Amino acid sequence: MNDIKLTERQQHLFNLLVEAARNGESVYGDRLLRDGVQQRTISALVKRGLIEASDQGWVLSEAGREAAGAMVAIDGEPRSQASKAKPAKKAADLNRCACSEDCEALSRNLFAPGHDARWAGIMGRWVVANHASDPQETIRRMAPVGASEALIAKAVRVAANAQAKADAKKARQSDKAA
């Protein structure tokens, strides 16, 4: 079977006939049509000498039995199934989102999707509300472990914008009072 190249549909039909041969059966044309096999797929395998028509239906030819024997491992399992065992999936380690203390979202990462921007906004507004003397250093110290430089820079930008907004509000209020 190594030197014979089959398409996906031809391989499907061939495997169907191999399974039937193991069970001592033959496959009738109506079963093939039910399984979605087209006539040209059957013709291609007949042309290659892998299957032949008999009075009981479609069966493996001598060359087909040899090719099927090359596919079967010692224990009777097809090699394609015996050698390609998929590893078990590891359960996800979920952590609480680090954007705020009241956030209950679970994520595999530091933040839930979109919550990194939420953290930057919360930190920027907090720094302005608490009148931090050096917003960049305050945010850098309070950032969770693993926060990127881009995220810290975003929080600093939010703090600068919030400070400008607060200054503009104070100026408007002093203009109204005067």
| Tens-place pLDDT, residues 55-104 | 767 777 888 777 777 554 333 445 555 556 778 888 778 888 988 888 99
- Residue 111 CA to residue 117 CA, distance in Å, equals 9
CATH 1.10.10 region(s) of the chain?
Answer: 8-71
Count of H-run helices and E-run strands, the chain: 8, 4
- Residue 166 CA to residue 147 CA, distance in Å, equals 27
Q: What confidence score (pLDDT) does residue 38 get?
A: 73
**CATH code for the domain defined by 8-71:** 1.10.10
Task: Summarize the confidence of residues 100-110 as an average pLDDT.
Answer: 88
- Residue 27 CA to residue 71 CA, distance in Å, equals 20
DSSP-derived secondary structure letter, 60? E
Query: Whole-model pTM?
Result: 0.45
Does residue 69 contact residue 62 with C-beta atoms inside 8 Å?
Answer: no
Q: What confidence score (pLDDT) does residue 33 get?
A: 59
Strands (E), the chain: 51-54, 57-60, 95-96, 106-107
Q: What confidence score (pLDDT) does residue 71 get?
A: 56
Q: What confidence score (pLDDT) does residue 168 get?
A: 93
Average pLDDT, whole number, for the chain?
79
Q: Tell me how far apart the 2 most distant CA atoms of the chain are, in Å.
A: 107
- Banded model confidence at residue 172, pLDDT cuts 50, 70, 90: very high
